[in-house]
Structure 1
């Protein structure tokens, strides 16, 4: 087995080296430890067998790193050439903060769409693939309301409840992302190919699996941990006692997220999983406002992480000058500058900032949870 100690240099740059680590597959923990030790993927890849073995990589992982698979690498490279396609690695500043804190986070995620969606406060809506008409309507109604409030709607692009939640967010012009169990270039089920493209165009499709990875049964429970981690809370709407939705709810609780469940008829077998969750401590919800109240604290933590990443200062003292932001993303500073101590309506904010109503709603929610902004009767003021 030929070892290529200068493999990273030959592949040119950090993204190529990170891609080699991702394609090595296997347990993520040793790969993360390798990246943490060396600080970047190029040095980790160039370190060679002794360092890989010391980090705990298995024989198959080491062989994959030492002997490149040109065809596989080229397939993924072609996918990444598209301007809408991204690879976010463990050491990247844009790696989603909520995902970083979950049990067993991936070394990297592939994103088709806008990676910034993964920094927005989001709620996961999950449930049965074969819901009742009422269950599907409830998913659509809750997703519409949460989206209108400025929250992003996350789900898994499965049939039934997942698809209804995604469509509701899209129909209302809100934000949504899908965490899938295949490569980001494949739709599962196939009939959701159009829906997946719509989500990628308006939001984001996320996968820890490289392009070209087909559907395999074990990958779908694994993707549930990413969905649970990326969201402030998970809402279960109709689920049998043994279902993927309950796995997502359990993983959400383990990741320190809120779990909500909608009750149903005692005669509906699709409600038994929700009743079990409520019995075990999940929050019973009958209206979207129950969810907003439940995730306020965690949303504030996410807002702090986002503000630190953007480095867009928002002054605490009234009358303090607004320094210029140090990064190109000036949305928060523009919004702050448009706000005053007199109530300002949404129409005025849209005109002053040039931002969409959906984007402004999301930003205002974050700022309100931080205590920077107060709202009353549809108008907003600095606090």
Structure 2
């Protein structure tokens, strides 16, 4: 693609009200973006889905021109790229089971688009335990060389990105805004970290605000880019279930982590499991369901035979000796894995409430329990 066609492609992709389907219809009909932009309005209006898009062919193409110029200026920054559907390294995953976006704004490590991927999604109002589960799964996947994809929302998305950034697999954040607008602002530091160590993606023009209608489109990209989707915690009305539904329709694997029956944010996961999603309790559950995730990861170098023999001997010796398990804190045993109020814990343990609060504070400082709204506490580890 030469420079003039590339410019026309970007301008056509950023023309207001020209969506992905209309864009492709125009390219197929006219053969190129330049020819489509030069076509008469009466001819174009037969192909575009949104009637307001025809305004660009009636002489009012200033918005598209300005958006294209801004995009090209943005691309001159370090590690920034405009990826076109016609580019040779455009990810094939985005062409399977959906209408591909004609243009992507990318910032960071574009090679992550071509590695094994799992989307980890869930509630914006995640419980501390669910956030820890999402972080642990994402870290374990990333340790295996699997790239973790999420939407950088609060809650589970944030935990997923944080866990993945701690290992070699990296993470991809798909935004529902322009790539120059961070949302939510509370994740500003995380956004910069992902841009430096992972990859940020948006299909929206620069300056696009976080409108409600943008996020289903973002979820569609997350589902398409992932080989599997893991839902950690989600209510029945959660957008994560939309992502899971889209993934299933595209032929991707859908998995879910079960939770407490008392937690309304677990009901979406339970619904998915009832409908056939893989119930996941550990990393091995994911790998058994999706063995293809390990196909492109570098094999571990085997140790020399003498080292393997010594290691096996030590392993057998350890296995033969009875392992001493440290006794669990009585308060954690009483707390279990569902939220509980200190009063009920005091009654169960027959201890003064003041003593229960003191123990809870100690466990909270050790990051083993977390305080919840309403004065209740939940186990984190």
TM bin, normalised by shorter chain, reads: 0.7 to 0.9
Max Rg structure: 2
For residues 209 and 190 of structure 1, what CA distance do their matches in structure 2 show?
18
Tell me the alpha carbon deviations over residues 188-243 of structure 1, each in whole angstroms, 9 at most, x when there is no partner. Answer: 10121221111111121111101111110110112101000100010000111110
| Other structure's SS at 2:154 match | coil
Tell me the alpha carbon deviations over residues 105-163 of structure 1, each in whole angstroms, 9 at most, x when there is no partner. Answer: 22221111222211211000001111111101100110011001110000000001101
TM-superposed deviation, 1:166: 0.4
For residues 284 and 247 of structure 1, what CA distance do their matches in structure 2 show?
18
Residues 144 and 169, structure 2, Cα contact 8 Å, conserved in 1: no
For residues 161 and 85 of structure 1, what CA distance do their matches in structure 2 show?
27
| Other structure's SS at 1:13 match | helix
Query: Does residue 1:134 correspond to 2:91, yes or no?
Result: no
Query: Does residue 1:62 correspond to 2:57, yes or no?
Result: no
Q: Which residue of 2 aligns with 1:344?
A: 301
Q: Which residue of 2 aligns with 1:282?
A: 277
Residues 35 and 91, structure 1, Cα contact 8 Å, conserved in 2: no
Residues 261 and 283, structure 1, Cα contact 8 Å, conserved in 2: yes
Residues 67 and 206, structure 2, Cα contact 8 Å, conserved in 1: no
For residues 137 and 156 of structure 2, what CA distance do their matches in structure 1 show?
11
Q: Which residue of 1 aligns with 2:117?
A: 122
Tell me the alpha carbon deviations over residues 312-358 of structure 1, each in whole angstroms, 9 at most, x when there is no partner. Answer: xxxxxxxxxxxxxxxxxxxx9xx8xxx9xxx8359xxxxxxxxxxxx
Q: Which residue of 2 aligns with 1:14?
A: 5
TM-superposed deviation, 1:15: 2.6
Query: Does residue 1:247 correspond to 2:238, yes or no?
Result: no
* Length-normalised TM-score, structure 2: 0.73
Q: CA separation of 1:171/1:233 partners in 2, compared to 1, >3 Å: closer, same or farther?
A: same
| Other structure's SS at 1:95 match | coil
Residues 117 and 293, structure 2, Cα contact 8 Å, conserved in 1: no
Residues 33 and 55, structure 1, Cα contact 8 Å, conserved in 2: yes
Q: Which residue of 2 aligns with 1:44?
A: 36
* Length-normalised TM-score, structure 1: 0.72
For residues 257 and 145 of structure 2, what CA distance do their matches in structure 1 show?
21
Root mean square deviation, CA, Å: 2.6
For residues 126 and 233 of structure 1, what CA distance do their matches in structure 2 show?
11
Q: Describe how 1:155-174 pairs up with structure 2 within 5 A.
A: 155-174=150-169
Q: CA separation of 1:127/1:51 partners in 2, compared to 1, >3 Å: closer, same or farther?
A: same
Q: Describe how 1:1-383 pairs up with structure 2 within 5 A.
A: 13-26=4-17, 27-49=19-41, 51-64=43-56, 66=59, 67-69=61-63, 70-297=65-292, 344-345=301-302
**Count of residues in Structure 1 that have an aligned counterpart in Structure 2:** 300
For residues 128 and 259 of structure 1, what CA distance do their matches in structure 2 show?
16
For residues 56 and 211 of structure 1, what CA distance do their matches in structure 2 show?
23
For residues 291 and 36 of structure 1, what CA distance do their matches in structure 2 show?
40
